[in-house]
Structure formats: C-alpha cells, structure tokens
Structure 1
Amino acid sequence: MPSTTTDRGTRAQFATLAAITIVTGVVSSLGAPLVPTVATEQHVSLSTAQWVLTAALLAGAVVTPVVGRLGTGRLRRPVLLGGLGVVLVGTVLSALPLGIGPMVAGRALQGVGMALAPLAFAVARDLWSGPELLSRLSLLSVATVSGAGLGYPVSSLVAEHLGISGAYLFGAVLIGTATVLAVRHLPAAPDGAPQPVDVVGAVLLCTGTLGFLLALSQGERWGWTDAPTVATGGSGLLLVATWVRWSVARSRRGRPTLVDLQLALRPGVRAPNAVTVAISVSLYGLFTLVVVLVQADGSAGFGLDAGLAVTGLALVPYAVASIASNRLALVMARGVGARLLLPLGCLVFGSSLLLLLGWHDTLGQAFLAMTLGGLGGGLTFSAMAMLIVPHVTPEETASAMAFNQLLRYLGFSVGSALTVALLAAYGGDAAAFRATALTMAGICLVAGALATLERTGAAGRAR
C-alpha cells in the first residue's frame, strides 16, 4: 500500500529523513562516554583514547562543507547514500578487534555522518513547503539533538553489557537500517549540476588541524618543547595559515572555496563566530570532564567510580536542557533582542564549569552542571543564525552559516583534545581537574565579555 501523502512528500519519506538524522546523531555520540573504557581496554593513555571522539569531530568539521557542495542538484541522493555507506563501514571497522588505530580510523569515517543532517534538511525543502515545511524542519532539528542525547545512555548501556565492540556493532545495525530506508524511500533530487569543491582547501585544513591537535594531545608524552611536538604543531598551524591565504585568494578571484572567510570578520558576524569557537571548546571540555569524573575510581583524588551506563545518563541532561533552551531563546529574542543571548549564554555555560569546579562529589552535582551547560549552550547556539543572517545578503547566508558550522566542529575538536591535555599538564589529580574546569570556564566567560563589549560598542555607534 502506498504511503499517505502530506503535501508532495510522504510519511515514509519523512520517517526516512528522521531516521537519518537520529541515527547519525546516535552514532556520532558513540565516542564521548566510551573514552575512559577504550583507554582501559586498549591499554593506551587517556589522551590517545580521546581520539575516538576527536577523530569523528575533526572529520565532521572538514567533510560537512565538502558534502554540502557535493550534495547539491542531482547528486544529493547518491551522496546521502554514499555517506551512509561510509558511516556503516566506519562502525564495523571500529567494532573489529584490530586495536586503537583502526578504531580511531573507523571513528573518523563515522564523522561523515555529521554532514548528512544538512542534506536531510535540503531533501525536506524539496518535498514540503509553507507551514508544513517549517513543521518538518523543526521536528528534524529536534531529532538531530535528541539523537545524540538518546545515543549517550543507550550506547553506554550496550557497551557496559557487550563491550566497546558491541556498542559499535549496535551502531552498525542502526546505520544499516537507516540505509535500507534511504534506498527505498529517498527521492531523487531535482536536476542541477553539483557545486565545485575546493579539494586543495579541504586537504590543507584537515591536515593542518590534524597536526595541531596531534601535538596538543601528545605533547605531554612527547615533551612540550621537544622536536616532535614543535614540528607537528608548528607544521599544523602553518598549513592552517596556508589554507586561510589560499581561501582568501580564491575568493577574491571568484573561485569556489570551502567557506567564504571574508565574511568572518564582518561587523555583526565576528562576535557570533568568536563565541562559537569559545563555547564549542568549552562544551567538549565540560563533556570530557564529566565523563572522566563519573568513571574515575577516586585514586587520583576525584571520581565517582560509576559504570558506563551512568556515564551515558550523565550526558542526557545537556541534550534535554538544550532543547528547552532553544525554545526559551526564541521567546527572549522577541522580548529583549537576540544579541543579549550571546553574553547570557556564555555566562550560564561558564557557570556550569564553575559549579563542576567547586562541587563534583555526587552524581546530582554532575547532572546539575550538565543541565546548566545545556541551558547556556542552547541560548548561545540558538542566537547564531538570528545574529548572523541580518548582517549578510541572501546570497551570502549559506556561506556565512557554513563557516559558523565549521568553527563549531573545529571548536569541538580542539576542546576534546585540549581538555585531556590540560588534565595531564596540570598533574592529573583533583587540583588538575579543578584547574582544567577553571581554564574552560575562563575561555567561555572571556568570550561572553568580548561579545558584551561589541554589543556596547555597536549601541554607542548607533547613538
């Protein structure tokens, strides 16, 4: 029997798009709660095990704008199906007992899934219009966040009973199911040539960021001033700088770039972009600190010695609070204006880290810190589009938001690697835990102060 039609799209097609966004969210969350357990099972340091999270985030940062350009016009369906296939291969590879290297490589392939949600949104725009489209996009947005939130406790529960391999095999089953639905129900995209891709720019950004993060995560083991750390980190920064120059030069010649960097420092755009980096770094700082806290056995002076299932539950309050905070942000934007959301969100999020710094002796305190973090993160991220879009033309909107998304993923990657590096550099004990939380809170609060200063300066210029 054919599916019931709603506007031009069918319910089966919407269920398929929802499955893609939820499942890729679940699979992307297979890193955060599992890091300490991976370190124990694979007999590696915490900084090395953290790459099961960092690798996926870094891949998502670079792949998202590339897939966004490839997935235009007639290539949207094959790119979506191909992306699901890559994620499936990655989950299977991570599940195999081949060691930490293949597991990290598999996680990098899973990072491609982060680029598929925007394509699902694009398919929805092809299938629905008007109020029906807004409803569908809203539901898909919630599905993206709830997918990650659902993935934390479910994957942790599976891992506690079936091990790390079992968690990734569980992810493979989910991705396989979503792929079958996509093959059956995903419509062909309208005709149109795909946009050209800046391959050189993508390679420069990926290798440069990888070098910097590798030096950051391994600096304690290699020696912060020794040749391998300096050479790897310095080469990475040099490649990133080369990517910036390459992208600006191509943009001035009218050639396609990964993202349009000339929009980044435009008044009204630079503050949201700066806060995006800070809040993203701090966000994965909070995630990592809570995961380490919940699973640590107390021998270093801190830790709750709880299992994987409890770790997953500890991350759920963030997802729930961020969804509620998104609604609150819309109400506040209509009442007091969107620009106040940036400093307020940074203040609330910074407070979550300060709370964790002072009180981390019970699960309730960890849950409360994650709830505050979700409220602050939701306020901040909800404000980005509201603040950026009025300062760019309609033709520049996609590029401006793509750059903001890129900054978000890069911030996640840096926060993931930096937190573990700081814990080790500060000594790995309870004092190090507090110092790391204070550092992350400082990053967030400074960004909020800078956003406030720009807001004040803009108000002064307006008068």
Structure 2
Amino acid sequence: MDVIARQHAASGAIRRYGSGRILTAMCMVVVSYGLLQTMLVPSIGVLQRDLHTTTTAASWAVLSAMLLASAVVTPVVSRIGDGFGKRRVLLWMLAIYLAATVASIGAPDIGTLIACRAVQGVSLTLLPLTFAILREALPPRRVHTGPAVASGLVTGTAGVGLLIGGLVVDHASWRWLFAIGAIPVAAALIMTARWIPESRERHPGRLDVAGTAAITAGLLALLLAVTQGPAWGWSSARVLGLFGTAVVMLAGFVAVERRVTHPVVDLALLTKPRLSAAHLGALLLGVNQFVVYVALPKLAELPTGNPGFGLSVTGAALVLMPGTLLTMPASWAAGAIADRFGVRAPLTVGLALAAVGTALLAAAHGSVWHAVLNYSIAGVGWGLAMAALPRMVNAGCPPAQSGSANGLNTVARTVGGALGGQLAAAMLVSWADVNTGFTVVFSIAAGVAAMGGLLVPLWRYRDRTD
C-alpha cells in the first residue's frame, strides 16, 4: 500500500473512531502494561512469608518468570500481528493478560503464581503492537506525538506502580496488587475492542516454525543464564552451558532466517543501520534504567547512615516519583527535538542526560535530596530516549513490518534491563563497603549510558538523511 492509500485508510479510521479515542485506548494499553511491571517489586518479602517460599522463588514470581516469557513471545507475536492484523492480535494478548492477572489473585501457592506471571509475559507484546497501531491509525500531524506520549507513560507508570505497590504492601494483602492491576487491563481491552480499527497493512507469509524455535531457545537460554548467574555462579557449568546454548541457537536462527521465504524476523530489521542504532540505544538504555531501578530503592531502604536513608517501601517509591513524573513531559518534548535536529537527537540527548544523572548519583548519593535531584535528571533523559525509540524504528521500516521492528526494539530493552538488574544485584553483594558498592554500580550505569550517547550519533546510516 502506497503513502496516499495509507493516508486514506488512516483518515477513514479517524472519521469513524476519532484520533483522541485511538490515542486514549492505546495509552490505556500502555498503562495496563506499566503498572504490573513494577507493582509487585516491593512484595518479594511478603510473598516469601505468605506463600512459605524462598527469596529466589518469590523473585521468580515477581520478575524472572515474566521477563523470560515476555522476551521469548514478543518477536513471534509481533510478527503474527504484522501478518494477521495488529488489532486482532492485541485483543487476544489483552484477553490472555487479563485472565492471567485475575487468576493471580487467587493463586494458592508460589508455583501457581509463577505460572500466572509467566503467562502475563504476553504483556510486553502490547508495546510494539501499540506503537504500530498508532503509526497506522493516527493522522500525519499526530503520528509522532502519539508514540511519544505512549512511550512517556511506560516509564511514568513504572514509577507509579512502585508507589502503589509500596502502599498496598504496607497496608493490605499482596493479592490486591493483581485486583488493582486487572482494572486498567480490562479497560484497555474494552477500549481497544470499541475504538481501534483493524490495520490494513499486512506482512503475509506462513509462520516460520524453525526460526521461531531457534530464537525462542536462544533468548530463553540467554536470559535464564543472566537471571540465574548470581545464584548459580557466573563460572558454573550450568551458566556457561546456557550461554553456549544461546550462542549456538541464535547463530542457528540467523542461518535459518537467511534461507526461509517468510522469516519470523526479517534480518534487515536487525542490521539496517537506522534500526540497529535504535536497538543499540534500547539495549544500553535498558541497562542504565534497571541498574538504577534496583540500586536506588535498595539504597533508600537501608538503615539511616552511610549511605542509607532508612525509608519504608512507600518512602523509597516517593524518592523516585519526581523523576518518574518528569519522564512524561520530557517524552512530549522529544518530537520537537527530532523535528529540528533529526530522529537520533532525542535518543542521543536522552542517553547523555541519563549518563549525567547516574554519574551524579555515583558522586553524591548520601542524602534524599541528592537522590531525588540526580534521579530526576536521569528521568528526563529516559523520557527523551523512550520517546525517540519508536520514532526511529518507524522511520527505518515499512508500515507492514512496524510491529516486528518495534517488537525487536522492545526485546533489546528487555535484555538490557535483565543485564542491568542482575549486574546491580551482583555488584552490590560483592562489595564489603556498601557505600563503595553503590558508587561503583552507579558509575557503571553512567558509563553504559555515555557509551550510547557517543555511539548513536556516530552510527553510520545508509538510508536517507534525518
């Protein structure tokens, strides 16, 4: 479908549904994803006590199961959305997400809860589907604004989720976390069914079974190794075996995709310079963000002294709130920066600000106001970078493949988040002097973001200029 035909299709969708309703529905989808990503983080200790389990098992229920499942299913579901209709696939993913969330409310044991959280991993697929739908359904004047607003909500709702999680854990049962989380999922399902048009852009072809199996096995082995590395030992046979399996399976995946007619992932979506720059930025952004997500609340909850603040879970979440709220207006400003300086500019500036904020955290984290101020600087950077990613991806791929391309970008950030979270946890445990440990962890986060801020603007493009 050429540009004129796409514009006519978008105009018809806008007349029927209204661009405001389309954007509202997709923002609710993002909110439903963002809240349940972080609301459970404060509940690890409570789950361990109430379900009579270990810290490791509770951590799997909160983060690991969902992380592994989401990274595995997202590339496949994104490709299915490109082939069979993004709205249809989004409705199925929301329905599955809602069912797993409701089932979690009554989970009788930790095994059931882990299984429910693994099924909730389909929630990560909501982001690439949302960005692809916004690209197709919004009018040209709002086609960049919509993804920027939605991107800002990803980080913004994550901070709100931590606050809600802290309040619930401090005052009620952990089961209320899922009851609260189910509300925006149900609202998103209803809004999508009523207000979102079906996409007319399709990327046809049969599902690539061999490629799907290879990328699933490769990503699962990689993320399992990263997740279990601190517990099993990075040099243990199991972890090294998983890393080796990941290398073999992902190499096999590349070999398969070069030969099949309809690959599950078009390798051009990985190697095209405009897209590879966006994926690199997403990976490094994920590392930087999740190092801070793990380290800063831990710092805030340590006993008062050098360097803790002695805050409750809710108090630790409040330290993050100013920076979290700043990510949303920052994401809205990304469009103006991209229009003036090019699509890479918001990502470059965002990573640079993230580097500055986390470098300042490394140098000064001895008081609450230091943490609030420096986290806020990083938060502004995250807002700019998050808004830049879908615009860079959409600029580098045809509309029919926008779901797949955004899916790969989301997976890159997820893998970066897994690396960053485990890196922070391992480094904080390894340093006898707690204050030095936080300094080193924040310094690493700053270095990673600075690397991205330097590499992204230097990445060679073969497409048209920005």
TM-score normalized by the length of structure 1: 0.80
Residue 213 of structure 1: how far off its partner (Å): 3.0
Q: Which amino acid aligns with 2:322?
A: P
Question: For the Cα contact (< 8 Å) 1:302–1:429, is it kept in 2?
Answer: yes
Counterpart residue number, 1:8: 16
In the TM superposition, what are the counterparts of 1:109-258 in structure 2 within 5 Å? 109-120=119-130, 129=139, 131=141, 140=150, 143-179=153-189, 185=194, 189=198, 196-247=206-257, 249-250=258-259, 253-257=260-264
User: Given the alignment of the two structures, is residue 435 of structure 1 paired with residue 440 of structure 2, yes or no?
Assistant: yes
Which residue in 2 is equivalent to 1:23? 32
CA distance change for structure 1 residues 298 and 108 in 2, over 3 Å: closer, same or farther? farther
TM superposition shift of 1:284: 1.0
Aligned-partner residue type, residue 370 of structure 2: Q
Q: 1 CA distance for matches of 2:253 and 2:40? A: 28
1:266 correspondence with 2:272? yes
Q: Deviations over 1:196-231 (max 9, x none)?
A: 433443443333333333333333432333323322
- Asked if the contact 2:81–2:403 (Cα under 8 Å) also holds between the matched residues in 1, the reply is no
1:315 to 313, 320, 328: 320
User: Take 2:137 and 2:452, find their aligned partners in 1: how far apart are those partners?
Assistant: 40
Please list, as runs of the form range in 1=range in 2, the aligned pairs for 1:29-428 lying within 5 A after superposition. Answer: 29-35=38-44, 38=47, 44-45=54-55, 49=59, 52-71=62-81, 76=86, 78-96=88-106, 98-120=108-130, 129=139, 131=141, 140=150, 143-179=153-189, 185=194, 189=198, 196-247=206-257, 249-250=258-259, 253-257=260-264, 259-297=265-303, 302-385=307-390, 387=392, 399-426=404-431
CA gap of 1:14–1:397, structure 2 versus 1, over 3 A, is: closer
| Gap change, CA 1:357 and 1:101, over 3 Å in 2 | farther
Sequence identity percentage: 26
Q: Once the 2 structures are TM-superposed, how far is the Cα of residue 6 of structure 1 from its aligned partner?
A: 7.2
Q: What is the CA deviation profile of residues 99-127 of structure 1, one whole-angstrom value per residue up to 9, with x for unaligned ones? A: 44433332222221232244455666776
User: Per the alignment, do residues 390 and 294 of structure 1 end up closer, same or farther by CA in structure 2, a change over 3 Å counting?
Assistant: same
Does the 8 Å contact 1:33/1:311 carry over to 2?
no
Q: What SS does the aligned partner of 1:210 have?
A: helix
For the structure 1 residues 284 and 135, does the alpha-carbon distance in structure 2 shift closer, same or farther, using more than 3 Å as the test? closer
- What's the secondary structure of 1:169's corresponding residue? helix
CA distance in 2, matches of 1:130, 1:47: 47
Change (3 A) 1:439 1:39: farther
Q: CA deviation at 1:357?
A: 2.0
Aligned counterpart in structure 1 of residue 449 of structure 2, from 444, 450, 457:
444
Q: Which amino acid aligns with 2:287?
A: V
Q: Structure 1 residues 275 and 126, CA, compared in 2 at 3 Å: closer, same or farther?
A: closer
Greater displacement, 111-120 / 35-44: 35-44
CA distance change for structure 1 residues 223 and 140 in 2, over 3 Å: closer, same or farther?
Answer: closer
Change in Cα spacing, 1:365 to 1:188, as seen in structure 2 (3 Å) is: same
One-letter amino acid matched to 2:62:
V
Cα contact 2:25–2:192 (8 A) shared by 1: yes
Tell me the distance in 1 between the aligned counterparts of 2:142 and 2:440.
Answer: 49
Q: Is the 8 A contact 1:209 1:236 kept in 2?
A: yes
What are the Cα deviations for residues 173-216 of structure 1, in whole angstroms up to 9, with x where unaligned? 44345445556x35673789875433443443333333333333
Distance 1:225 1:79 in 2: 41
**CA 1:400/1:422 → structure 2, altered by over 3 Å: closer, same or farther?**
same
Deviation sequence 1:121-150 (CA, Å, 0-9, x none): 566677664557777666655555544343
Q: CA deviation at 1:338?
A: 4.2
How far apart are the structure 2 equivalents of 1:79 and 1:107? 20
How many angstroms apart in 2 are the aligned matches of 1:418 and 1:349? 17
Deviation at 1:349, TM superposition (A): 0.8
Whole-angstrom CA distance in 1 between matches of 2:280 and 2:145 = 31
Q: Which runs of 5+ in 2 are unaligned?
A: 1-12
- Seen in structure 2, the aligned counterparts of structure 1 residues 274 and 298 have a Cα distance that, compared at 3 Å, is same
Q: Deviations over 1:350-409 (max 9, x none)?
A: 222222223223332222232112222233333345555555566666654443233122
The amino acid across from 2:123 in the alignment is: G
Task: State the shift of 1:158 in Å.
Answer: 2.0
Kindly provide the amino acid, as one letter, of the partner of residue 335 in structure 2.
Answer: L
TM-score (norm 2): 0.79
Instruction: Determine if contact 2:156/2:327 at 8 Å carries over to the other structure.
Output: no
Name the SS for the 1:255 alignment partner: coil
SS in 2 for 1:366: helix
